[in-house]
Amino acid sequence: MVRVLLSGSSGFLGSHLRTALTERGHHVTALVRRDPTGPDESRWDPATGGFDPEVVEQADVVVNLAGSPTLGNPHSKAWSDALLDSRVSTTRLLAEAVTNSERRPALLAGNAVGWYGDHGSQPVTESADSRGHTLMTQVCRAWQEAAAPAVRAGARVAFLRTSPVMDLDSAPLKMLVPLFRAGLGARLGDGRQHMPMVSLRDWVGGVVHVLEGDLEGPVNLTCPETPTNAEFTATLARLLHRKALLPAPAPLLRLAAGRLSPELLGSVNAVPAALRADGYAFQDEDVAAVLTAGLDAHWQTLS
């Protein structure tokens, strides 16, 4: 049994991870921002640094998935500030708590493949550099740097570089399916940019694999075969029995998406090299499998 301290447990990914860990016999304590309702919850306040250090001392692994929604008004400074601050403050607080603890539990720090920036068609493993100065690359760099105290203290730290998780209950698939069903699906720009993604069951399975093992450093949570946006668009349209023939012009996307347009038009051919080398077996290797799993409500989180 692994004793896990989890932030972000009420979110889409956190709730599924908590369920999977509990079903596997691990003990999960959730960090919450309200009064706890039971012994498996502990209150914290990242804004003020308030938390009970004892819950970190008792943990084998600390997992931070806290942060404000990644979808919002790209033209809003308040939204972009919250995107950054909510991730940096929570990560820094937990990294410092790990550093100050006697047991030094492992830290699994949430992050995103946005860390890499545009790499064109070049395969991007965990050893690739971070390029450019888009909103998301800057957020991801600061997000990772916030965990530095735990790294310097010698704790096992893994950075969960998550790609968009394709599932009907969450963005982006939740937003895209109604558009495609209405015949409004379209490739973005020329569609040649690589678009990393992962199924929910492989995201959960990958994180559980990291938590139960000894991987550290960056870990790409992506399907092994990253599609281009054109391939993604054609596959989703086919699975929904619709056509998607018209492109969304790049200039229009830049205007509408503002500071987030590089995430739509940039290319990250991400490869989950660390997980594969460590023996994790993906259930959904390519875009067709990922989308089929995301559109199917009857799969089990972990077999």
Residue 251 lies in a domain: no
Residue 281 lies in a domain: yes
219-276 residue pLDDT tens: 999 999 999 999 999 999 999 999 987 788 788 778 777 777 888 889 999 999 999 9
The whole-number pLDDT of residue 200 equals: 98
Residue 9 lies in a domain: yes
Residue 262 lies in a domain: no
The whole-number pLDDT of residue 297 equals: 59
Phi, psi of 287 (to 5 degrees): -60, -40
111-132 residue pLDDT tens: 999 999 999 999 999 999 999 9
Q: 67-76, 78-87, 159-168 — which one is most confidently predicted on average?
A: 159-168
pTM of the model: 0.95
**Of 42-56, 63-77, 103-117, 157-171, where does mean pLDDT reach its minimum?**
63-77
Residue 179 lies in a domain: no
Residue 162 lies in a domain: yes
Task: For tokens 């969960």, name the residue.
Answer: 160
205 exposed, middle or buried (CB, 10 Å; 0-12, 13-18, 19+)?
Answer: buried
The whole-number pLDDT of residue 73 equals: 73
Statement: residue 95 has pLDDT above 70: yes
Read off the CATH number of the domain in which 121 is found. Answer: 3.40.50.720
The whole-number pLDDT of residue 59 equals: 98
Range of the domain at 159: 3-167+197-226+269-285
The whole-number pLDDT of residue 28 equals: 98
Residue 219 lies in a domain: yes
Residue 253 lies in a domain: no
Q: Amino acid letter at 73?
A: N
Task: For tokens 């963005």, name the residue.
Answer: 171
Alpha-carbon gap, residue 111 to 289, rounded angstroms? 24
Domain total in the chain = 1
The whole-number pLDDT of residue 110 equals: 98
The whole-number pLDDT of residue 250 equals: 84
